[in-house]
Amino acid sequence: MAEIIDGKALAKKMQAAMAEQIVELQVKFGRSPGLAVLMVGDNPASAAYVRGKETACKRVGITSFGKHFPADASQAELELVIDELNQDDRVDGILVQLPLPEHLDAIALINRIHPDKDADGLHPYNMGRLMRGEEGLQSCTPAGVMKLLEAANVAIAGKTAVVIGRSILVGKPLAIMLLQANATVIMAHSRTDDLAAITQKADILVAAVGKPEFISANMVKSGAVVIDVGINRITDYEGNSRLVGDVDFEGVKAIASQITPVPGGVGPMTVTMLLHNTIWSYCRKYGITYS
């Protein structure tokens, strides 16, 4: 039976350390790090994510500069706010909560954020830094996955890692991070032929496909480490809903060596790395190294 990689516990430990560090930084520099989260509309899932981020900020001592806009907010209005936040010395990190209403250009808004305040690590400049192996802000979910692997003492160098999913949010940056950790990386996706033949080669299998319980036990190599990035809400015939990942947890945990649960695995680490990025930007402003 697989060992559970507890993202909730690791996030709690990291956030406790952050809270202690922020107390010291506030005394030294006269202010705490600041994070601005921009949300447009009233998407229930987005609202829940934003509340979670604001609660996490409060827990560690980061000042929130949350800005919520009506669903009909214009591109020009949001660009103006981002410009103002770029110039605001109290703000160290800026995040645009996705998805946005269809009339808005999310890529243009993300690109409008100053690279040094790009708390989500999605600006092309920071993506370029990652590609080149340079220090910089990194995408939160992939960075959280790497922290989980490190905390679980998973050997990465020389291992075969299969990443299912090629999004700019998770799959592509995570593949680069695993390459930099000296894994042999295979990227698979919706057009991959005979996916099971690929996934069965994985010493480390990462599922980020957005399909409930898509990865079954017969797709997983015995003893593999399985990281489930997916989060999906499913409803049974009685109308009861629950959250599940992209992995059939009950089936796969019987043959994997280590596995992340959903919820309580990668999710808490995504928020934690958002906080990490904000503190990193703050420290960089004052010439301090933060890792």
Sign of CA pseudo-dihedral 164, 168, 172, 177? negative
Give the annotated binding-site residues for NADP(+): 165-167, 231
DSSP line for the chain: -PEE--HHHHHHHHHHHHHHHHHHHHHHHSS--EEEEEEES--HHHHHHHHHHHHHHHHHTPEE--EEE-TT--HHHHHHHHHHHHH-TT--EEEEPSS--TTS-HHHHHHHS-GGGBTTS-SHHHHHHHHHT-S----HHHHHHHHHHHHTT---TT-EEEEE---TTTHHHHHHHHHHTT-EEEEE-TT-TTHHHHHTT-SEEEE-S--TT-B-GGGS-TT-EEEE---EEEE-TTS-EEEE-SB-HHHHTTT-SEE--SSSSHHHHHHHHHHHHHHHHHHHHTT----
| Complete edge-to-edge strand list for the sheet that includes strand 184-188 | 3-4, 258-259, 225-228, 204-207, 160-164, 184-188
pLDDT computed for residue 217 by the predictor: 97
Angle between helices 44-60 and 266-285 (to 10 degrees): 50
Q: In this predicted structure, what is the pLDDT of residue 236?
A: 80
Residues 151 and 219 reside in one and the same domain: yes
Please report whether residue 6 resides in a domain.
no
Which tokens sit at 141?
A: 């979910």
Consecutive 10-residue runs of the chain (291 residues): their mean pLDDT?
A: 97 98 96 97 87 94 94 97 97 96 96 97 96 95 98 98 96 98 96 97 97 96 97 85 94 98 96 97 94 77
Task: Kindly state whether residue 192 falls inside one of the protein's structural domains.
Answer: yes
Residues 63, 170 share a domain: no
pLDDT given at position 66: 87
Q: Which active-site residues does the annotation give?
A: 53, 97, 120
Residue 172: its pLDDT value, please? 97
Q: Is residue 92 part of a domain?
A: yes
Query: Is residue 93 a part of any domain in this protein?
Result: yes
Same domain flag for 148 and 244: yes
**100 and 147 assigned to the same domain:** no
Beta-carbon contacts of residue 51 (< 8 Å; ≥ 6 apart): none
Number of folded domains that form the chain: 2
- Tell me, yes or no, whether 112 and 144 share the same domain: no
Q: Say yes or no: 161 and 251 in one domain.
A: yes
Of 101, 145, 164, 143, nearest to 278 (Cα)? 143
Is residue 261 located within the same domain as residue 155?
yes
| Residue 225 resides in a domain | yes
Q: For residue 103, is it within any domain? A: yes
- Domain with 38, as residue range(s), is 30-116
For residue 291, the model assigns a pLDDT of 77
Q: Tell me how far CA of residue 75 lies from CA of 81, 116, 122, 215, in angstroms.
A: 10, 22, 19, 39
Binding-site positions read 165-167, 231
Give me the CATH number covering residue 147.
3.40.50.720
Residues 160 and 239 in one domain: yes
- Do 92 and 35 fall into the same domain? yes
| CATH code (residue 74) | 3.40.50.10860
Determine, yes or no, domain membership for 37: yes
Amino acid at position 265, single letter: G
Same domain for 167 and 62, yes or no, is no
Residue 80 and residue 188 in one domain: no
Beta carbons of 109 and 82 less than 8 angstroms apart: yes
> From CA 137, how far away is CA 116, in angstroms rounded?
8
Residue 129, in any domain of the structure: no
Q: How far apart are CA 287 and CA 58, in angstroms?
A: 24
Q: Give the CB-side neighbour count of residue 65, counting CA atoms within 13 A.
A: 20
Please choose, from the candidates 84, 87, 27, 95, the residue with its C-alpha nearest in 3D space to the C-alpha of residue 57: 95
Judge if 148 and 257 occupy the same domain.
yes
Number of CB atoms found within 10 A of residue 13's CB: 13
Mean pLDDT of the chain: 96
